[in-house]
Amino acid sequence: MRINTELFGPGQTFVWSISGKGGLTTTYLMEGPVAPREPVPAPTPKRIEPEFRIATDKGRSLEGLRVEEKTVGEVLPELRSRGKKVIFAIISIPPGNPGGYGIDRTQEEPVGNHWAVWEAEENAKGVIRLLVTEHRLNKNPVYGGPRDAVIK
């Protein structure tokens, strides 16, 4: 960064602060003198719990139920027999399916029975959100391959 002090007006003080491990910088042009500052630790950020968590993990409502890589038509009857409200997260996959996904939209309206389920998530109210794509993919985008290769 280049600071051109010729642009400062009479009595102005340039303040440059650095915060966080990432080195976020802030600059101010103050009127008058500024007292020296002492470094202060940043407050601990609040932990935000995700709205949805994997429902098939140990201790969750669908523990032990394998939903990944099945069709919606195979999964829905079991979820309905358990009295679960189900919504659908339509996910998009990066080119080449390297692993990872984005959620295009979430909807209550059912998708086709042939759609592929990649995972089931639940929120605090017990609503199940199925991560789905219209077509089967060469590997599970949630885990970047078979789930068992990731979870041991």
pLDDT on residue 118: 96
Maximum Cα–Cα distance across the chain: 76
pLDDT band of 28, cuts 50, 70, 90: confident
Closest CA to 100 of 57, 30, 150, 39: 150
Cβ atoms 50, 72 nearer than 8 A: no
- Which has more confidence, 67 or 100? 67
pLDDT at position 150 over 80: no
Sorted by sequence, the CB contacts under 8 Å of residue 18 that are 6+ apart come out as 24, 25
Q: Provide the mean pLDDT of the chain.
A: 87
Tokens of residue 88, six digits: 């659908």
The residue with tokens 């209550």 is 108
Instruction: Calculate ∠ Cα 107-105-113, nearest 5°.
Output: 55
Tokens of residue 89, six digits: 């997260």
Q: What is the mean pLDDT of residues 17-31?
A: 77
Q: What is the mean pLDDT of residues 75-94?
A: 96
pTM for the model stands at: 0.66
pLDDT on residue 101: 92
